[in-house]
Structure formats: structure tokens, C-alpha cells
Amino acid sequence: MHREYQPDELSPLDADPFSAARRDREGGGDRGPYLFTAILGLLLGLDLGRDAIGLGPPPFLPAGLSLTHVAAVLGAVRIVYGALEALVHRRIGADFALAQACLAALVLGQPFVATEVVFIALVGEVLEAFTFSRTRKALGRLVGQAPRTARVVRDGREQEVPARDVAVGELAIIREGERIPVDGAIEEGRSTVDQSAINGESIPADKGPGDAVFAGTLNQYGVIRVRAERVGRESTFGQVVRLVSEARRRKAEVERLADRLARYFLPAVELAAILTLAAGYLRGWPDVWSRTVAVLVVACPCALVLATPAAMLASMAWLARRGVLIKGGYALERLAACDTFAFDKTGTLTEGRPRVASIVPLGGLDEAGLLGMAAAAEQGSRHPLALAVVAGARTRGIEPGPAGDVGVLPGAGVEATVPAGAGAGSGRILVGNRRLLAARGVALGEDVESNLRELDGRGETPLLVARDGAAVGLIGLRDAIRPEAHEAIHELKHLKVGEFAVLTGDRETVARGVARRLHIETVLAERMPADKAAWIRERQQAGRRVAMVGDGINDAPALAQADAGLAIGGMGADLAAEAGDFALMGDALRVLPELVELSRATVRVIRQNIVGFAFGLNGVAMLTASLGLLGPVAAAVLHQAGSLLVLLNAMRLLAFGGWGDLPPVRGLRALGQRIGRLDDRIDPEAARRWLIGRRRPILGAALGLAAMAYAAGGISRIGPGEVGLVSRFGGYRGALGPGFHWRWPPPIERVVAVEPEKVRGLEIGFRGASAGEDAEAFEESGGDGLLLTGDGQLLELSATVQYAIDARRADAARTFALGIDRPEAVIASIAEASVRKVVSRRRLLDLLTSGRLEAEKAAAAEMAPHAGRLGARIDAVLFRAIRPPAAVLDAYRDVSRAESDRRRRAIEAEARASERITLAGAAASTTVGAAEALREASLARAGGRADAFVYELEARRSAPGLSDFRRYWEAISEALADRPKLILAAPSPKPQRLFLTAPPPPPLAPSAATAGDDPSPPQPTASGGHR
């Protein structure tokens, strides 16, 4: 069941690191073990659950079958297939024994045993699959660090091409902040290149024409043109990836301890089963098959499979607490055997950040003047050395002054003008390397040269400082050693680690300086990543087991080559962790010795599990099963007992490094045991006689001890931020600063430690007795009664008073600590009185709402003068809770609800009144508008008639006869408008016609039609001739 992960599955490292189209397979993963384990566990759990509540087998399964049978069959198919696949590839491991045990359990009719065998094995495989998937994802990120594209000059034009397509001899252009895609030499431009990823040099290197640069390094400043000499896989970065891939292949071929021992265990199991079967046939045992199956069941290698995962899981608690990530149990096995430790320097033994180590002033300057002048010029630069100079000045209390006309010269340094008013450092300032000063014509005397040699001998990087064309000093910078490095290496030596080495790409003097301070003899400096891996390979060929501790790309080949690679978290941690076996976060070196101890303890537990339980217990069980003393069912129970013992033995690792194992605790426990044994042997009468016979020396010793104890009582410790006030026989004698002091012990002198700046909190409260609470018990509980507000309401209140000793007064601490008995109680009394006074002047509603903040301020102001006389100042009074008394809380709520109802009804009445007023106003406006319209219409009609009359009057004046005639007939027409009429012609000899006319019927009004009125019929119109 154990899956053996092959080297070709680590494919991300085999891809072209400079290919933008490489396969990104690390995001995937084989989820089969997880899913299959979950399915088997679910089936097994459901079946056990149904049996526990008495439901029986599911109805959809045939009679006699259960979910456990289904799980057993699925598990058997999986495990047998895995065993056959291993046999096809000529690999025999624990899988084969698991398959035999599973099939034997099915033959015996024990599906639960078969399922349990498979499930335990799958749990171990899931743990390893999870670890491997994380490893594969991490390995893929290493390739992602390579630059994908490059800018080259082709046909006289700048073109961007894939990095893998750059040809040897082409000119590559790298701008500021970009990674260099090729190995080559600079033809044009100057810059500072961070090469720590390749050679581990802690301080970026200044580069100019003719200097070599490497692929994967970072161009920090300026634009450079590089002639490509090695590209793609042949570059330095490509070789790093190749070395890591090859080293991990060699590691993948190392067998696990469990599989290595399984090669001996499996033949023994097969031999025992064959011998049992043969002996049974020869001797005629009727239960020969039962005995053979029992042998196979009890020999199931569950204990062997669980040995490493169980110990690993138990170790995970310690690893998680210490921030250690691990790729698999094999890593702990190899670390436990390591007897040689190799360390990278930059970022591992050191912090990886330059710091000012020495200041050498020349020309009459002092150290502060030289450092301040250099910091003023450097404060505008982002170079790591410039940042270190500015930080060093500020650490020493020197604030860099202003500087103008600042020029940053990539690969050389900076130049700036410091104003004359800035102090001794005024003038034109140069800070940089020898090349910068030579370019500006600054001569270096013998004193400067000797100081340069001295700084170089101490492993420091020098910065030359010149003012107005003359060298005025040097500043040496050095990478600081981690504070825990010395202790870690010292403890590793006590763990019998025989050899230590420093492997670095930094300069020889720098490396030896670090090694000398850490007592490490072997130093390999100015080495490339491949050189580090080669040294480790040589030590391994000499029979040593090597552990490598590093933190960057330059350490990746060595981490992969080492028997155990330990990557330290920080810059480049992902890259180092991809090649190593451990990732150490936090104080990595501090935890390193304990990690080695844990690995050795884990390996001991694994070996105990394998040898003692997987082999020893199973061997005895196989013998008893073959003799018929152990039946198949008992064999299955014993098999489970062996697995349980493996888990219990592994659980001992949970207490690794716990407080119970500390030497002082173990010593006290042993002392208690000795005292207990001696107590049974002591004769009280003999002890009494012994004491009486030696009473004088005992009394003298007791008096001496008493005197010493009394004298020791005068030792006082005053902590940071505290002041010790000394009083002798009640009179003030002075103050003590932080530290240890001896004064006359009490009652002669008394030392009181106070913290003048500490803000103290004091809780006060006012409440009434609760229902059923006795009045005496209420007073004992600290109840201070209720408060009465200005409007006669009772309330409960709790508050916090924040106060401190008034530092504005010189005698405040003395008054507070020595002049008052129980100053906290006095301030509490002042606070209660002040709060009562403030509350009595305010309404309850104001205290509950907007007036709360003002009341708090008023209480603080009320307390201030009284507290001031005690040497204290009041910072704030905060009301935490204000509420009515519990006894009247229900009534108060009723009153509040009634008040709310009254306000609601008043608001509703006001709304209705407002609505009616609005409607009345609208009606009045409508009436006024109609009246205005009628008035306007009447005026218009009257004006029209007046105009008509005036017109007719004017017409009559001009033609009175015609006008009178027309007015006459109009009057006749109006008079006869609604009457019947008879029209007679003038007398004539001719026949006449008579016209009888009637007025037209009135129009039918809508209302009349609707009402059903019957209009008068129209008068007939007749025509006839009459004479």
C-alpha cells in the first residue's frame, strides 16, 4: 500500500527554468488516496454506527452482507492491485504482506479485519501523499525564480525575446530592478548587483565594464549592457537547478527504514506460513488452514506501516510549536544520523544586513562628525550600505543633516554638498569605494591604505569618506552574527556532532572572521553553489553524514546534496526549502539542537516500534499461531494490540521537551523520592537525642541563618520605570533608581517601589440590596447605596477612575506612597463623594443620554483638587453602567413605556391636526380662486357690454335713422323670440300665402333627459293658403 514516489515525479526541476511555456504541474496532485481513504472510512463508520443503534444491514444489500463487506472488497481490490504492480516493477515491500493479510481475513470471514488493515495502511499513505504534494509544489516554485524574458540588441534595435532564445555573444540590456537573464561581462554602464542569491555575499557588489555578472542576480541601480557568455541551462542559475534535480534523484533512491526492514520480515512471514502448512499436512492437523490464515493475519504489517507515520504525527506537536516544517519521516531518520554540520554564512549564521562596525576618523574629525557627515550624504540613497550608514548614525543619536546637489553613482557611491551651517561636515562630500575617490582625484595616503588593510583583515567592507577633495575617514560595515548562533553550535557539539564548516561565496576574510567568533575551524569561502555541493559530496564519500543549513538559491544544491537539508526562513526561504528537507521558521538556530535531539528520539521510537512490536511481538504471535495456541480471531485481536502498542509508544514523543523533562524538575522529583525513603528509616527518639547533644552549634547556626535572612530582607529590586522611596523610622530618606539596592531591613528602613508614570484604575459602584439580600451581607459586599439624581430619581451606577502619580510635582510620589495610609482607599472615597455630588445636580434622562460625557468630565474636575493634595492626578472618570435600581426596574420600565405611549399619542395628534389644517387651507384656497375667477369674468362681461354700447352710440350719431330702425327690429325680435307669430302680407290683389311659425323646441338638457322629463311636443308648422 505504500506508494514509492519516483524521482521523475519531481518534474518541475527537470523543466527548462528559462522556458516561459514550461509545464506547471505543481498545482495538481493525486487525490486518489484521499478520496479512497475517505470512502472506506465512511463505509466503516456507517456500518459501525448502524450496528451501535441496532439498525442492522442496509436493505439494498443482499442478505448476509454489510457496508463493511463492501469496504473490505474495495480495499482488497486496491491493495492487491498495488502489490501486483509492485511485483511487476520488481519491488517487494510492506504492500505484499498487507495484501496477504487482507485476503486471509476475507477467507476467514472477517471483513472488518480486512477493512481495518487496508484503512490503517491508507492513513499512512495519505500522510506521505500530503507531504509529497507539498514538496512537489514547492519544487515547482524554484523554476519560477528564473527570468522569463530578456532584452537584446538585434539588427540595431532593442527587442524583447524569451530568455531561452538569447544566443551566446548577443548584447543583453538590463534595467534597474530587473534580474539578469544570462551569464556574461558588462560592456557598458555601472550598477550595484545583489548576488546573494548565487554566491551568498551579504553586501551587494559594485559592477562596471569588464566585471562578470550571473543569471538570476538582481540589478539594483542603473542600466547595464551585458555580453552573453552562458545562457539557459548552461548559465549559473541553470546549473543550480540541474544540481538540485540530480541531488534529489539520489535522495529519492534511498529506502525508508520500514521498507528496508520489510525485505527481511516478508520472507520470514512467507516461510512461517509455508512451514505451518507443510507441518500441518505432514502431521495431519485438521485445522491446518485455520492456523496458516492465523499466521498471515497476525503477521499483517500494520505495526510496520504505522511505525514511521505514528512517530511523525507525535513529533508534529513539537515541530508545530517550534515552527519547523518537514517533508517526510525519512528526513528525521537522516538528520538523526548526521555527524557533520555545514552552515551558509549570509542569512544563516549572520542576519544578512550590514551594520556599522567601526569608524576611523582622519584629519581632525571625531567619530560622530565623520558618521554624521557620511549619513547626511547617504540619506538620499537606497543602497544597502547607505541605509546601514544612516541607521548607524541614528542608533548613535546622530540625526543626519540636510544635503543638496546629491548624486548617486551606481557602482561607486554618492556625492553631495552639505551646507556650511550643518557643522563640521560641511562642504562637498564623497562617500564610496576607492574607484570613486580615484575618479574625483582624491589621493589616498599611507594612513588610509593601512586602515583599509586593517578593515579588510577584520572582514569589514570599507566606505571611504572625502570632503573637499581630501580623505577624512573610513567607515567599516559588517554583517552581524545572529545572537543565537554561538549557543546553537555549542549545544550541537555537546550532542556529539564532530565537524562544523562554513560554506559561503563571501570573501575569505569575512568568512573567517565569522567562523573565528563561532569557534568553527573549517571555512570554504568565495565558493559557487556547485562548489558547496561538491564539498558535501566529498565528505559523504569519506563516510560522513552531512547536514546543511542554508537560506537561499546559492545553498539549494548543497541542501539537496546533504543527507539532511535545513532551510532557514527569510529571504530566499522558498528556494532553499524546495531543495532541503526541513524549513526552520522564527529563531531557526535556537531550535536546531532540539530538532537534532527530537530526530534521534523519533528514530529510537521508530526502531522500537519496528523491532519490538512489528517484528518481536508478531514473531512470537506467528509461532503461537502455527502451534495452534492462537486462533484466527485471537490473532486478529493480537494484531490490533500490536498496532495500539505502536501508537502508545509513539505518543511518548508528545512529551518531548516538556517541562516535566527539564533537569530541575527531574532533580526535585528524585529528591522527593529520596526523602520519602528516608522518612521510613528515621527514629524520632534518636533524632531528638542527636539534636539535644548538638544544641549549641545548631543554635549558633540558626542564629547565623536568621541574621543572614534578616540582612537579605534589606535587598530591594527597583524595576525599570520605578522609583524606590526610602523611609527610616517613618522619615523620608531619599529615592532609589532602577536596579538592586541594599538598605537596612525593616523595621529600621522601609523601601516602597512606585511607578510614577503608571496609570492606575479604580473601580467604584453604587447599588442597592437585591431581593432577599440581607442588609449586613450587602454592606460586607461593598454596596455603597443608591444615587439620587437632581430630579429625585434613584439609580445604580458603576464607574472606573483612572489616575496616576502627578509627575509635575517633585514630592508627589513621596506624598502618595509615604504620606498617606492606603491611598487607593482615600481616592476611592473622594471618587464616591464627587460622583454623588455630580449626579445630584443632574436629571436621570441627561445622565442616560447626552449629558453622560459632561457628567464624567465634571466628576473628574470635582476630584482633581482633592486628589492633587494626595500627590495624584485624575486622568478620567468613566461611567461603565447607569441603570435604575433592580427593585424598581419593572416600575421604571412601566413608566418608560407610559411616557413613550404619551409621546407617541401626542405626535399622532399633532399629525392629525396638521393634516386637517392643510386640508382646510387647500379648500379655502380653492374657494378664493373660484371667486377671483368669477369676479374677473363679470368684469370682462361688463366691459364688453360697455364697449358695445359706446360703439352703438357712436354709430347712431353718424346714422340715427338706420340705427333706430335696426334697434327697433332687434327689440321686436327679442320680444317675440319665444312666442308664436302670424305674419300677414300687405293687401294685394294677388293670392296671399299664410305662414304660421312656432319657436323651435328648446334643446334637451342632459339633466332633464336623465330625469325622464317629457318635453312639450313641438308646435306643428303648417302652410296653407287662406284668403
Report yes or no: 341 and 492 within 8 Å, Cβ to Cβ: yes
In angstroms, rounded to a whole number, what is the distance separating the alpha carbons of residues 555 and 543?
22
294 HSE (CA, 13 A, CB side): 25
Strands (DSSP E) contained in 69-190 are 149-154, 157-162, 171-174, 183-188
**Residue whose C-alpha is closest to residue 578's, from 877, 137, 17, 265:** 137
199 HSE (CA, 13 A, CB side): 24
Extract the C-alpha cell encoding 704.
Answer: 547565623
Determine the 3-state secondary structure of 161 from DSSP: strand
In angstroms, rounded to a whole number, what is the distance separating the alpha carbons of residues 195 and 217?
5
Catalytic residue, candidates 47, 183, 206, 344: 344
Residues whose CB is less than 8 angstroms from the CB of residue 673 and which lie 6 or more positions away in sequence, other chains included: none
Is 24 one of the catalytic residues? no
Residue type, position 100, single letter: Q
> What DSSP string describes 178-191?
PBP-SEEEEEE--E
In angstroms, rounded to a whole number, what is the distance separating the alpha carbons of residues 817 and 726?
10
Q: Which residues pair with 340 in a beta bridge?
A: 499, 546
**Sign of the C-alpha dihedral, residues 47, 53, 55, 56?**
positive
**Residue whose C-alpha is closest to residue 534's, from 549, 543, 524:** 524
**Residue whose C-alpha is closest to residue 816's, from 773, 772, 757:** 757
Report yes or no: 869 and 809 within 8 Å, Cβ to Cβ: no
Judge residue 765's burial from the number of C-beta atoms within 10 Å of its C-beta, 0-12 exposed, 13-18 middle, 19 or more buried: middle
The pair phi, psi for residue 952, each rounded to 5°, is: -65, -35
> C-alpha distances in angstroms, 389 versus 383, 410, 975?
10, 17, 126
State the alpha helices, DSSP H only, in 432-555. Answer: 434-439, 446-457, 485-494, 508-517, 529-541
The pair phi, psi for residue 523, each rounded to 5°, is: -135, 125
CA 129 to chain centre: 26
Kind and range of the H or E element at 359?
strand 350-361
DSSP state of 432: E
> C-alpha distances in angstroms, 705 versus 530, 688, 700?
67, 21, 9
CA 1026 to chain centre: 127
Assign 3-state DSSP to the chain and report helix, strand, coil percentages, each to 5: 55, 20, 30
**Residue whose C-alpha is closest to residue 668's, from 657, 660, 678:** 660
Residues whose CB is less than 8 angstroms from the CB of residue 689 and which lie 6 or more positions away in sequence, other chains included: none
> C-alpha distances in angstroms, 1027 versus 106, 991, 992, 1024?
146, 7, 7, 10
Maximum distance among all Cα pairs of the chain, rounded to whole angstroms: 196
**Residue whose C-alpha is closest to residue 387's, from 506, 474, 511, 477:** 477
Residue type, position 385, single letter: L
Residue with cell 512470537: 620
The pair phi, psi for residue 977, each rounded to 5°, is: -65, -40
Extract the C-alpha cell encoding 545.
Answer: 553524514
Kind and range of the H or E element at 467?
strand 461-467
Q: What is the 3-state secondary structure (H, E, C) of 932-969?
A: HHHHHHHHHHHHHHHHHHHHHHHHHHHCHHHHHHHHHH
Residues tagged active-site: 344
